[in-house]
Amino acid sequence: MTSAQSSRQKLGRKFINASAVLGLLYLFAPIVVIVLFSFNKPKGKYNIVWQGFTLDNWANPFSKPEFTDALIVSLQVAAVSTVCATLLGTLIAIALSRYRFKGSGAVNLFLVLPMTSPEIVLGSSLATLFLARGVERGFMTVVIAHIMFQVSFVAVTLRARIRGFDWALEQAAMDLGASPRRAFWKVTFPLILPGIIAASLLSFALSIDDFIITFFNAGSLVTFPLQVFGASRVAIPPQLNVLASMLLFGSIAIMVAGLIFESRRQRAASGSSRH
């Protein structure tokens, strides 16, 4: 290899690294703004221009009850819908990855369809159905809508995670005398659990942040994104930036905890396999 080539390679390497760093900066630019303006001290009700530093907003993050309540509603919707969707989606994923059966191709396609339809189509069509059936839109309809898009999501991501799962393990347990139920709960379930947790956490996040589908089906229910949308027409108080920053730091904490847990588990697993 000539030196010209290797220096060109180094340059290319640097270029790619630099563009990755720029990409990260791009990703974080708005986050900086959000966190920064959570410390702003607006004189009037508009949190637009930097006026001065204060910790007051952080001292009273819940002083805007309409935002706090909307956040609680969002958490409730997400909790209920995630539990249901995880259950339904997990069953589908197990069926698809464990069994070969007639129509599995069709089921696959059917599962992907909601993911390849724009949210606005999902939202408006569901709202049309509710209108046609005379169903009053509210908490229930939002939960129904969220489960609808989460089921596909959980099923597809979980199926990808457990694609390589060795179902013979379960068979082995049964050969050793375990009942099918026991074999499932004692062998299979613990092994696919991390996948289930990951898929449900992600679908929880999707639910919390969903705006478009919820907008069409919420009726008088006000979720966090809907409250933000409504307030954005008037003025966004700095407390909202605080709540957003808290969401951010909270999820980072969960993520870090997950990473530590995962690495410990791996270490433990590799440790035990050595014996």
Partner 1 sequence: MLVLAIGVVSIGAGWVSGTTRLVALSVMLVSVVVLVWTAFMGGLETRRALAPYGLLKPGILWLSLFFLAPLWSMFQMSLSSKQSRFDFFPDFTWEWSNYSTALTDFAPQFTRSFVYAAVATVLTLLIGYPLAYVIAFRGGKYRTILLGLVAVPFFTSYLIRTLAWQNLLADSGPVVSLLNTLRLDAPLEWLNIMDNGRLMNTPAAVIGGLTYNFLPFMILPLYVSLEKIDVRLVDAAMDLYTTASGAFRRVVLPLSLPGVFAGSLLVFIPAAGDFVNAQFLGSPSTTMVGNSIQNQFLRELNYPLASAMSFVLMAVITCSVLVYAKFMGTDDLV
Partner 2 sequence: MATQKKNSTGRGTPLSRRDFLVRSGLVGAGALSMPALLAACGGGGSGDSEAMSLMFENWPLYIDEETVALFKSATGIDLKYTEAYNDNNEYFAKVQPSLAAGKTIDPDIVAPTFWMAARWIQLGWAQKINMANIPNSKNLRDDLANPSWDAKNEYQMPWQTGIAGIAYNAKTTGRELKSVADLFDPAFKGKIGMLTEMRDTLGLVLMSEGKSLDSIKTFDDAASAFDKIEKAKKDGQIRAFTGNDYTDDLSSGNFAACVAWSGDVLQLSKDNPDVKFYVPEEGGTSWYDTMLWVAGSENGSAVEKWMDYVYDPVNAARITASVQYISPVKGVQDELSNMGGDAAALAEDALLFPDAATISRLQSWGALSEEEEAKFDERFAAITGA
Contacts of 182 (CB under 8 A, 6+ apart): 173
Q: Of 114, 138, 194, 258, which one interacts with partner 2 (CB under 8 A)? A: 138
Asked if 144 interacts with partner 2 (CB under 8 A), we say: yes
CB-neighbour burial class of residue 123 (10 A; exposed 0-12, middle 13-18, buried 19+): buried
Q: How many CA atoms lie within 13 A of 103 on its CB side?
A: 4
**Tokens matching residue 157:** 């991501």
Taking contact as CB under 8 A, which single stretch among the options 112-120, 132-140, 176-184, 193-201 is the one that binds partner 2? 132-140
Q: How far is the CB of 43 from partner 1 (least distance, A)?
A: 18
Site string for partner 1, 73-92 (x = CB under 8 A): --------------xxx-xx
Q: How far is the CB of 138 from partner 2 (least distance, A)?
A: 8
Asked if 258 interacts with partner 2 (CB under 8 A), we say: no
Choose from partner 2, partner 1, none: what does 118 bind? Cβ within 5-8 Å by kind.
partner 1
* Paired residues of 53 in beta bridges: 40
120-124 — which CB contacts under 8 Å span 24+ positions? 120/212, 120/216, 122/148, 122/149, 122/213, 123/212, 123/213, 123/214, 123/215, 123/216, 123/217, 124/216
Q: Which is nearer to partner 1, 63 or 232 (CB)?
A: 232
Choose from partner 2, partner 1, none: what does 116 bind? Cβ within 5-8 Å by kind.
partner 1
Site string for partner 2, 217-236 (x = CB under 8 A): --xxxx-------xxxxxx-
Q: How far is the CB of 119 from partner 2 (least distance, A)?
A: 18
Q: Give CA torsion, residues 172, 175, 181, 185, to 10 deg.
A: -30
Q: How far is the CB of 243 from partner 2 (least distance, A)?
A: 14
Choose from partner 2, partner 1, none: what does 79 bind? Cβ within 5-8 Å by kind.
partner 2
Q: Which is nearer to partner 2, 205 or 228 (CB)?
A: 228
Choose from partner 1, partner 2, none: what does 145 bind? Cβ within 5-8 Å by kind.
partner 1
CB 129 within 8 A of CB 193: no
The number of residues that bind partner 1 (CB under 8 A) is 94
Q: How far apart are CA 122 and CA 152, in angstroms?
A: 13
Asked if 26 interacts with partner 1 (CB under 8 A), we say: yes
**Tokens matching residue 238:** 């700095």
Residues that bind partner 2 (CB under 8 A): 42-46, 48-49, 51, 65-66, 68-70, 72-73, 76, 79-80, 83-84, 131, 134-140, 143-144, 219-222, 230-235
